[in-house]
Amino acid sequence: MTTAIAALGVLLKRNGNTIAELSRIGPVGKTKDTIDVTNMNTAGGYKEFIGGMRSGGVVALSGNFIAGDTSGQIGLQTDFDSESAQAFVLYFPTAVTATWTFSGVVTKFETDFSAGSQVTFNAEIQVTGAPVLAVTASTGLTTPFFVCTGGTPAYVPAQAGTEGTYAINVTTGTTSVTITPTATAGVITVAGNVVATGVASGAIALGGAASITTVPITVTETGKTAKNYTILIVRA
């Protein structure tokens, strides 16, 4: 099942002020030029390239013209005249906790008129420097989480919110373990199976003596990136 989201609810702020009634924003992203380094020794007759200069591109805007939007739409026209870069932040819909942050020079501002239609405006922003995409991470596990052998906690990590790999030594006679994770929010999976916070997972079978069994744990909140952990169960 898809986890796609609708664009409804996207906001673009200029210097902290929302630009009113936009109907289109973008694209916002990054592109990279390539440099042709094909030479007499190029194998197979295929051209060779290396990466060149990068660019944040041009962000196009359009929407209903709002004359009273002095800090938003009219502010874009002011930016055009000033020729200086302005700070912009694009906020994804509330279903995703993410933003694009960039500086840009307004290179176009115009209004458009058509009989039987509303007055609209169009603008273009040349991104200067690197645009930054930030996606909020899930909170992750809280301390502690338990790895149990025969119902007895065998390991409690000092850290949990931080992603990482944890190695746990068990005896030769231990053939399976359960893991009890805790988290304040999100869906927890242990070895691919959903586990409720504070509840032990099903028994996880270990390999033979002197083996290492890898157990992945993820915590995912809606609209955020997952936090990932890896537990290495080392059987003596």
Q: Among 135, 160, 183, which residue terminates a domain?
A: 135
- Per-residue pLDDT band for 152 (boundaries 50, 70, 90) equals low
CA 201 to chain centre: 28
**What token pair was written down for 205?**
């079978």
Measuring CA to CA, how many Å separate 67 from each of 3, 14, 19, 70?
37, 16, 12, 7
Q: Do 121 and 28 share a structural domain? A: yes
pLDDT in tens, 109-135: 999 999 999 999 999 999 999 999 998
Note whether residue 92 is domain-resident.
Answer: yes
End-to-end Cα spacing for the chain = 42
For the chain, helix (H) and strand (E) counts, in that order, are 1, 18
Q: Do 166 and 189 share a structural domain? A: yes
User: What is this structure's pTM?
Assistant: 0.71
CB 83 within 8 A of CB 74: no
pLDDT at 159: 53
pLDDT at 162: 67
pLDDT at 158: 53
pLDDT in tens, 177-233: 888 888 989 999 999 999 999 898 999 999 999 999 999 999 988 878 888 988 888
- Per-residue pLDDT band for 170 (boundaries 50, 70, 90) equals confident
- Per-residue pLDDT band for 143 (boundaries 50, 70, 90) equals low
Q: Do 107 and 65 share a structural domain? A: yes
Q: Do 167 and 115 share a structural domain? A: no
Q: Do 126 and 217 share a structural domain? A: no
To 5 degrees, how large is the angle CA 158–CA 228–CA 95?
Answer: 120
pLDDT in tens, 51-92: 999 999 999 999 999 999 999 999 999 999 998 999 999 999
Which amino acid is residue 74, in one-letter code?
I
pLDDT at 115: 95
Q: Do 218 and 110 share a structural domain? A: no
Q: What is the largest CA-CA distance in the chain?
A: 83
To 5 degrees, how large is the angle CA 66–CA 75–CA 87?
Answer: 125
Q: Do 118 and 16 share a structural domain? A: yes
Q: Which domain range does residue 196 map to?
A: 146-235
- Partner residues linked to 187 by β-bridges: 220
